[in-house]
Chains A and B, each alone.
Chain A
Amino acid sequence: MHDRSSSGLHLLHDTNTSKAVSSQDLPFTVQGMTVAYHHKPVLWGVSYSAPKGCLTAIIGPNGAGKSTFLKAALGLIPKLSGDTKVFGAPIEKSLKRIAYVPQRSAVDWDFPATAIDVVLMGLYGQIGWFRWPSRKHRQKAMDCLKSVGMQDFANRQIGQLSGGQQQRVFLARALAQNSEVYLMDEPFAGVDAATEKAIVAVLRQLVADGKTVLVVHHDLETVRDYYSHILLLNGQHVADGPVETTFTAENLQKAYGGRLASTQLDGLSEASNA
Chain B
Amino acid sequence: MDIFLQFDLPSILLGSLAALACGLLGNFLVLRKQALMGDAISHVVLPGIVIGFLFTHETSSWAMMLGAGGAAIFAVLLIELIRRIGNVDPGAAMGVVFTTMFAAGVVILEQTGTAGVHLDVEHALYGNLESAIWLDAYSLSDLWNWQVLMTMPESIKQLFVVNMLVIMFIVLFFKELKISSFDPLLSASLGFSPKWLGLSLIVMVAIAAVAAFTAVGSILVIAMFICPAATARMLTDNLKVQLFISGIASLSAGLFGYLLAAFGPGLLGYEFSVSAAGMIAVVAGLQQVLAMLFAPQYGVVMRRRRQRAHASV
Contact residues in A for B236 (Cβ distance below 8 Å): 112
Mask for B180-204, Cβ within 8 A of A = 1, else 0? 0111011011111000000000000
Interface centre among B183, B188, B236 (most CB of A within 10 A): B183
Contact A100/B185 with A112-B233, A121-B179 known, Cβ cut-off 8 Å? yes
CB-based contact B192/A124 at 8 Å: yes
Contact residues in B for A131 (Cβ distance below 8 Å): 175
Contact A106/B179 with A95-B190, A125-B191 known, Cβ cut-off 8 Å? no
Whether, in the assembled complex, A127 has its beta carbon less than 8 Å from a beta carbon of chain B, the answer is: yes
CB-based contact B191/A95 at 8 Å: yes
Contact residues in B for A177 (Cβ distance below 8 Å): 190
Contact residues in A for B182 (Cβ distance below 8 Å): 107-108, 111, 113, 118, 121
Whether, in the assembled complex, A96 has its beta carbon less than 8 Å from a beta carbon of chain B, the answer is: yes
CB-based contact B183/A121 at 8 Å: yes
CB-based contact B175/A124 at 8 Å: yes
- Please report the C-alpha to C-alpha distance between residue A127 and residue B178 in the assembled complex, in whole angstroms: 14
CB-based contact A129/B183 at 8 Å: no
CB-based contact A106/B175 at 8 Å: no
Mask for A125-140, Cβ within 8 A of B = 1, else 0? 1010111110000000
Interface residues of A in 70-97 (CB under 8 A from B): 74, 76, 95-96
CB-based contact B185/A125 at 8 Å: no
Chain B nearest CB, measured from A169 CB (Å): 12
Whether, in the assembled complex, A102 has its beta carbon less than 8 Å from a beta carbon of chain B, the answer is: yes
Contact residues in A for B176 (Cβ distance below 8 Å): 124, 129
- Please report the C-alpha to C-alpha distance between residue A42 and residue B11 in the assembled complex, in whole angstroms: 60
- Please report the C-alpha to C-alpha distance between residue A138 and residue B181 in the assembled complex, in whole angstroms: 21
CB-based contact A114/B31 at 8 Å: no
Whether, in the assembled complex, B271 has its beta carbon less than 8 Å from a beta carbon of chain A, the answer is: no
Chain A at the B interface: SS class: mixed
Interface residues of B in 29-45 (CB under 8 A from A): 31, 33
Contact residues in B for A151 (Cβ distance below 8 Å): none
CB-based contact B191/A112 at 8 Å: no
Whether, in the assembled complex, B262 has its beta carbon less than 8 Å from a beta carbon of chain A, the answer is: no
Contact residues in A for B175 (Cβ distance below 8 Å): 124, 127, 131-133
CB-based contact A124/B185 at 8 Å: no
Residue of B nearest to A77 (CB): B185
Contact A124/B179 with A96-B191, A100-B189 known, Cβ cut-off 8 Å? yes
Contact residues in B for A112 (Cβ distance below 8 Å): 31, 233, 236-239, 242
- Please report the C-alpha to C-alpha distance between residue A118 and residue B236 in the assembled complex, in whole angstroms: 17
Whether, in the assembled complex, B55 has its beta carbon less than 8 Å from a beta carbon of chain A, the answer is: no
Whether, in the assembled complex, B172 has its beta carbon less than 8 Å from a beta carbon of chain A, the answer is: yes
- Please report the C-alpha to C-alpha distance between residue A118 and residue B183 in the assembled complex, in whole angstroms: 10
Whether, in the assembled complex, A98 has its beta carbon less than 8 Å from a beta carbon of chain B, the answer is: yes
- Please report the C-alpha to C-alpha distance between residue A14 and residue B236 in the assembled complex, in whole angstroms: 58
CB-based contact B183/A107 at 8 Å: yes
Residue of A nearest to B239 (CB): A112
- Please report the C-alpha to C-alpha distance between residue A129 and residue B177 in the assembled complex, in whole angstroms: 11
Whether, in the assembled complex, B174 has its beta carbon less than 8 Å from a beta carbon of chain A, the answer is: yes
- Please report the C-alpha to C-alpha distance between residue A2 and residue B181 in the assembled complex, in whole angstroms: 40
Contact residues in A for B189 (Cβ distance below 8 Å): 74, 95-96, 98, 100
CB-based contact B190/A113 at 8 Å: no
Chain A nearest CB, measured from B307 CB (Å): 16
Whether, in the assembled complex, A157 has its beta carbon less than 8 Å from a beta carbon of chain B, the answer is: yes
- Please report the C-alpha to C-alpha distance between residue A124 and residue B176 in the assembled complex, in whole angstroms: 8
- Please report the C-alpha to C-alpha distance between residue A27 and residue B192 in the assembled complex, in whole angstroms: 23
CB-based contact A96/B186 at 8 Å: no
Contact residues in B for A173 (Cβ distance below 8 Å): 186
Give the contacting residue for A102; candidates B185, B191, B237, B242; CB below 8 A: B185
8 pairs, A vs B, C-beta closer than 8 Å? A74-B189, A100-B189, A111-B182, A124-B179, A129-B192, A131-B175, A132-B174, A132-B175
Interface, chain A (partner B; CB < 8 A): 74, 76, 95-96, 98, 100, 102, 106-108, 111-114, 117-118, 121-122, 124-125, 127, 129-133, 157, 173, 177
Interface, chain B (partner A; CB < 8 A): 31, 33, 172-176, 178-179, 181-183, 185-186, 188-192, 233, 236-239, 242
